[in-house]
């Protein structure tokens, strides 16, 4: 998809995607690093949210409510809801706080009620802990998870043969939609001479640790 390549260019320009040698949580030395925290001003968040909205619309997933898990999911879900509204799709959104509030409105959920099919909006999936907690909140409210939306799918194996994304899809029976994937990044590097010096290292990493595709 064209917006996937555009997102890679945007992430590189904002230094959200950097190249070099970075140690992952699994102890692997990765030739690239993605940090959604680098989208740290109003213009960047607006553009990121527009990419998220485009990915939702392109996915065809039926969604009634958007949910952003604390803490990174909070600005993402609010921004995505605004971007969707600007495209003619006005959806309610909700997010949670880490600690329950015992005064005022109380509870851990803020925003619209969790109803119908709920799309979880987050930055990445690593261990899948955030997704598990979100699914539990959604089901406890009597709603159903519709899927998960993330910025980048690293397409990288975890402890077994599946990636973290594939494990989420298998464990919860919902699709994971990403704005871009590692394959999109590799294609982008190959088309840009100023970045081609990073291509072989990223491709080698993909060959060593990657999964065959984005589905279980």
Alpha-carbon gap, residue 51 to 92, rounded angstroms: 18
Alpha-carbon gap, residue 208 to 9, rounded angstroms: 25
Alpha-carbon gap, residue 109 to 54, rounded angstroms: 26
Alpha-carbon gap, residue 129 to 61, rounded angstroms: 23
Alpha-carbon gap, residue 182 to 186, rounded angstroms: 6
212: buried, middle or exposed (CB in 10 Å: 19+, 13-18, 0-12)? exposed
- Which is catalytic among the residues 25, 72, 98, 101? 101
Contact 32, 17 (CB under 8 A): yes
Question: What is the β-pairing status of strands 65-68 and 176-181?
Answer: unpaired
- Which is catalytic among the residues 25, 98, 103, 212? 103
Alpha-carbon gap, residue 54 to 72, rounded angstroms: 19
Residues 6+ apart with CB under 8 A from 76: 36, 48, 49, 52, 68, 121, 122, 123
Q: Is 101 a catalytic residue?
A: yes
The residues assigned a catalytic role are: 101, 103
């Amino acid at each position: 998809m064209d917006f996937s390549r555009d997102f890679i260019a945007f992430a590189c320009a904002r230094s959200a995607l950097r190249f070099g040698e970075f140690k992952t949580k699994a102890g692997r030395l990765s030739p690239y690093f993605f940090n959604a925290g680098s989208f740290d001003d109003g213009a960047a968040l607006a553009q990121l949210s527009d990419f998220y909205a485009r990915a939702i619309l392109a996915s065809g997933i039926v969604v009634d409510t958007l949910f952003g898990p604390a803490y990174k999911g909070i600005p993402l879900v609010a921004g995505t809801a605004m971007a969707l509204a600007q495209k003619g799709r006005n959806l309610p959104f909700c997010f949670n706080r880490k600690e329950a509030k015992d005064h005022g409105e109380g509870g851990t959920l803020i925003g619209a009620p969790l109803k119908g099919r709920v799309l979880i909006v987050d930055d990445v999936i690593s261990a899948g802990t955030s997704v598990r907690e979100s699914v539990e909140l959604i089901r406890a409210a009597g709603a159903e998870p519709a899927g998960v939306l993330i910025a980048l799918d690293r397409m990288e194996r975890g402890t077994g043969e599946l990636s973290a994304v594939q494990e989420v899809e298998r464990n919860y029976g919902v699709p994971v939609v990403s704005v871009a994937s590692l394959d999109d990044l590799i294609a982008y590097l190959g088309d840009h001479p100023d970045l081609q010096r990073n291509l072989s290292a990223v491709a080698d990493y993909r060959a060593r640790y990657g999964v065959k595709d984005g589905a279980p």
